[in-house]
Structure formats: C-alpha cells, structure tokens
Amino acid sequence: MIPFNIPPLIGVEEKYIQQALKSQKLSGDGLFGKQCQKWFESNLPARKTLLTPSCTAALELAALLIGIQPGDEVIMPSYTFVSTANAFVLRGAKVVFVDIRPDTMNIDEALIEAAITDQTRAIIPVHYAGVGCDMEVITSIAERYSLYVVEDAAQGMMSSYKGRALGTIGHLGTFSFHETKNYTSGGEGGLLIINDEKLVERAEIIREKGTNRSQFFRGMVDKYQWVDIGSSYLPSELQCAYLWGQLSCVSQINRDRLAAWKSYDEQLQSLAHSGLVELPAIPDDCVHNAHMYYLKTRNFSVRSALLDYLKSLGISAVFHYVPLHTSKAGSNFGRFIGNDRYTTFESERLLRLPMWFGIEQDTQDEVVRAIYHFYAREN
C-alpha cells in the first residue's frame, strides 16, 4: 500500500513537546509560540505573524480584521478549498468567483478587473500547489480600486514570487500547518501574516477574544479589558512545540520535497511529450516548495480510470477540488463572473500523486511505473 500522504515528522518534535509539558504552561503564546512567531517574522520576513489553530481560523481572523460586512463582495478563484470562501461568507459577504489559468490553476489575474463592483472589498489569491499567483498585477489592481489583498498561502510556505515570500505580499497572508501541508504543527495549525502596519494592533485584539491582553503583557496598558469584537484564535503550546521541531529543519524538509517533485517531473516527461498527460508549470517569477505533484489526464473519464487502476495496485492518488461555484453552498453564497472556461474542465482531469517528506525513491518509481503501465494498456 502506498498512502497519499504521511504527516511530516523529523524526530525532534517529541523532545520539544516534552519540554512544553514540563513547563506547565500549555496555553497559547507561551515560549514555543513566541519562538515560532519570531522565526517567521525574521525568516519570511514579515512585520507581524500570529499563530492560529488552523489556516481556516487565520482566514476568519483576516475577514474580521478587514471589516467585511453583509453585502460586501470578495473575489477569489472557484478552484479552491471551502475555507477560502467560508471565512468571508461567515461575515455576510458574497463570493465572486473568476476563472483560473490552466497552467498554474491559479486565479486568472486578467479576469479580476471585470469582476469588480462598488461592493468589492478584497481580492483573495490562492497560491495553488505553492506556486505564486501573478501578484504584481493583482496588487496593482487592488491599489487602483482600494481593495484589500488577502493571500491564501495555505500551501505556500517556503515559496516566493519575484523574491518575496508568498503570504508577505498582500495586506494579509495565511499559512496552514495541517498534516497534509509541507510543515505541520501536529495535525492542525495555521498562521496569519500581517504586512499592513495599520492592521497589527487590531489583529492581536481580535485574536485575544477582543481584549488588549497582548498590550497588557508588553506593559503598554495597566489592565486588560474588552475593547473590540474578537474570538479565540490561539493554538496550544503543544502544537507550537511540534511546529518548532519542524522549523528547526525547514531546509531539510524543503530540499527533500523538491527532490521528490523533480523525480516525478523527470520521469513523467516522456509521457507528457507523447501528449498523454500534462505536467505542472512553474512561471519564471516563482520559486515553489514542492507542495504537491499533479498531472492532468486528457479528461475526466481517463482520470477516473487511472485513479481506479492505481487504487487496484494499492496506490492512493487523489483529486480535488470540486469547483465551489458548482457546489450547493457555493451557488447560494456566490456567483461566477465570466466564462467557466478552465475551472471545471481542468479540475476534472487533475490527479495528485503520493507525496510526503521522506518518500522513498522506490515508492516514487512504483507510482511512475504504474502510470506508464496504465497508458501502455490504454493504447
């Protein structure tokens, strides 16, 4: 059996979790939490970062922070995870979906302007597979129309666009440390990256249940109290201790994943040359993090057949996402602007191959052999 994913584990995480247990301080923003945030602030770098229980929570915090109100509109691709949309729908916003580019599966920056109305408040680019959207075009449109940019960089840690880390280019950015992502904080976790100085103070308040507790601990106010709306968006120290272990080995994990990605890519080239599959494209402006390796079959029915074939050999390949505008909630809470030229068609032929930190060459070879065998049978 070849699984689709194995959560990243270096080995040092256990030691840090033990340390956190011994410290008898397990709630949020303890030693490990603070250490992780400092790491991100100096390594991304970023003005301010706040750990959250998930990327979903970070997106919700972002929607609260930029003051999304009922009737507001936010623009995003339909080809994304439900949390990208939910965070804004929870605040009463209408989601406006635009088509993707077939080469990167990212929002087509050329279609954004036509989707802007008087109600538009924000653009939410999703960096699919850790490959950057065209942020130059997106930030210039946002500036022209005074819109916020919230990057859903759930898959984008250690990736960059024109030399800048994904998540640090818009006003706000979010990472996920879910066990399926490149780095995990023990199953669930996330990060809010605050690049707009004006949003820093309120971000801390909303994350701390609407209190000025963070300012109190810095000695800036003499008592802490309820000052704004808020919720609880802090991960526990145990999650942060796991993440600290991963952060201490970031280059090792990144190098290993890139090597695995390259191995798939090289071995599948000849199948791509014969026109049977399409492989991911990395634009020149982007450095990626090997978050996933996918291929595209000719169409939906070939993908189903390939999936079944791999499954019969014990290989777990998966597909995602069902375009949000075609889903029940998506059609209630959003609308698609322009033609769905690529979103549905491309999503129906994309197949993700098994990929994790530490995947063995033999395992990858077995997956590749199975794919070649499938196409040899087909023809």
Ligand X SMILES: *Cc1c(COP(=O)(O)O)cnc(C)c1O
Per CB under 6 A, the list member of 152, 204, 237, 346 interacting with ligand X is 152
Between 124 and 203, CB nearer to ligand X: 124
Sheet of strand 286-287: strand arrangement: 164-165, 160-161, 286-287
Stretch that binds ligand X, among 103-111, 147-155, 232-240, 328-336 (CB under 6 A): 147-155
Q: Which region, judged by CB under 6 A, interacts with ligand X, from 79-87, 108-116, 132-140, 324-332?
A: 79-87
Region binding ligand X by CB under 6 A among candidate stretches 13-21, 77-85, 93-101, 306-314 = 77-85
Distance CA 117, CA 57 (A): 27
The minimum distance between CB 301 and ligand X, in angstroms, equals 26
Q: Is 81 in the site for ligand X (CB under 6 A)?
A: yes
Binding to ligand X by CB under 6 A, coded x per residue (else -) over 315-354, reads ----------------------------------------
Instruction: Note whether 84 binds ligand X by CB under 6 A.
Output: yes
**HSE-CB for 31 with a 13 A CA cutoff:** 11
Binders in 153-172 for ligand X, by CB under 6 A:
154-155
Q: How far is the CB of 351 from ligand X (least distance, A)?
A: 17
Amino acid occupying residue 323: P
State which residue, 181 or 349, has the beta carbon closest to ligand X: 181
CA gap 200, 165 in Å, rounded: 19
Count of residues engaged in binding ligand X, rule: CB under 6 A: 14
Of 12-20, 148-156, 266-274, 335-343, which part binds ligand X (CB under 6 A)?
A: 148-156
The rounded distance, in Å, linking the Cα atoms of 30 and 238 is: 10
Q: Which stretch binds ligand X (CB under 6 A): 7-15, 88-96, 151-159, 324-332?
A: 151-159
Q: Quick one: which of 55, 61, 116, 138 contacts ligand X (CB under 6 A)?
A: 55
Q: What's the CA gap between 299 and 344, in Å, rounded?
A: 11
The least distance separating ligand X from the CB of residue 53, rounded to whole angstroms, comes to 8
CA distance 41 to 25: 23
Residue 176 binds to ligand X (criterion: CB under 6 A): yes
User: How far does Cα 207 stand from its chain's mean position?
Assistant: 20
Q: Does 264 bind ligand X (CB under 6 A)?
A: no
| Closer by beta carbon to ligand X, 56 or else 195 | 56
CB of 273 to ligand X, least distance (A): 30
Q: Which two tokens stand for residue 125?
A: 């680019």
Query: Could you say whether residue 56 binds ligand X (CB under 6 A)?
Result: yes
Contact 178, 201 (CB under 8 A): no
Helices 250-273 and 361-378: crossing angle in degrees, nearest 10, is: 20
- Residue (84 or 289) nearer to ligand X, CB: 84
Q: Are strands 48-52 and 286-287 parallel, antiparallel or unpaired?
A: unpaired
Kindly tell me which of 157 and 277 has the beta carbon lying closer to ligand X.
157
The smaller minimum CB distance to ligand X, of residues 271 and 323, is found at: 323
Q: Which of 46, 61, 126, 149 binds ligand X (CB under 6 A)?
A: 126
Name which position in 48, 91, 121, 178 contacts ligand X (CB under 6 A): 178
Binding site for ligand X (CB under 6 A): 54-56, 80-81, 83-84, 126, 152, 154-155, 176, 178, 190
